[in-house]
Every structure is written in C-alpha cells, then in structure tokens.
Amino acid sequence: MKIIRATDYYDMSRKAANIISAQVIMKPNCVLGLATGGTPVGTYKQLVEWYNKGDLDFSEVTTVNLDEYRGLPREHPESYWSFMHKNLFDLVNIRPEAIHLPDGTNMDSAAECAHYDEIIRQLGGVDLQLLGIGHDGHIGFNEPGAAFELGTHCVSLTEET
C-alpha cells in the first residue's frame, strides 16, 4: 500500500482522479471498482471535468460498485445506482451495459452476493478500487471492528453510517 498525503479535500479529490484517469488512459478497457458516499464526490466531479475537456474516454471502461441499499429499487433517489448516475455515469460516455451494482431488490442476499461475485470473476477482477473512509472509520461500509470478509456480503450499518 502506498499512502499519498493531501492538503485538503480538493487536493485529495484531484489526486484520486489523477490515479483513476491514469488507469483509464493506460488500460482503456479497465474494470473500475467505484465507491459511493461523500468521499468520492469531488473525485467524480474532477473526472467529469476532464471528460468534458476531452481528456478522458470512458467508452471501454467497465465498473463494479461496492454497495447498494438492500430493499431499494435502483430508480429510488436514495439508491447508490441513482447516486452514481447523478455524480458520474450520466455525465460521461460509459456504456450502460458496462455498469454493475448489486441488485438491492433481490431479497435473497446470499444469491445476490454470489451473483455479484460471479460478475466480478467473469470480468477478470477489478483493476483499480476506489474506497472512501466514513466519519466513524468505516471503509466500504465495513464498520470499524468488523472483520473484512472476502467477496460480496451484507453488512448491518450503524445509525451514524
């Protein structure tokens, strides 16, 4: 792991966007693991800005998102599907069929987790994963003190998260 220091949120967002853009430029058909929440919003804003300038092309990129709320249809304004479309997907030239998020409406969580892991396996894994750290220290919705599980899984969120 390499730790990159940033002076503030804007600096962190640009540095993260630089890493992601380098991945997209070096491997246009890369698989990006993307996060939601407050942490990556500035990064997505920077990526959209560079796309609008003609510096980035997402036409061959495939994405897999970390999470989705269980029980929410993707069109719900609080879903992470909606979040990602509002903050990135609708603003760049990514192909709709190249966007992957867990299905929050599948109440058989074990089956949905296995299905999502299979999608990632068929894609050949994730080339670059963006993560955020929540106010209470959660990483990718894995609450502090909980063991990180391999693969897609359900977590119970704290009220703060």
Under DSSP, the state recorded for 19 is H
Helix axes 80-87, 41-53, angle to 10 degrees: 40
Query: Which residues are designated catalytic?
Result: 67, 136, 138, 143
φ/ψ of 71, rounded to 5, equals 100, -10
Q: Is 97 left (phi over 0), alpha (psi -120 to 50) or beta?
A: alpha
Cα–Cα distance, 38 to 17 (Å, whole number):
15
Cα–Cα distance, 153 to 155 (Å, whole number):
7
Helix axes 9-26, 41-53, angle to 10 degrees: 50
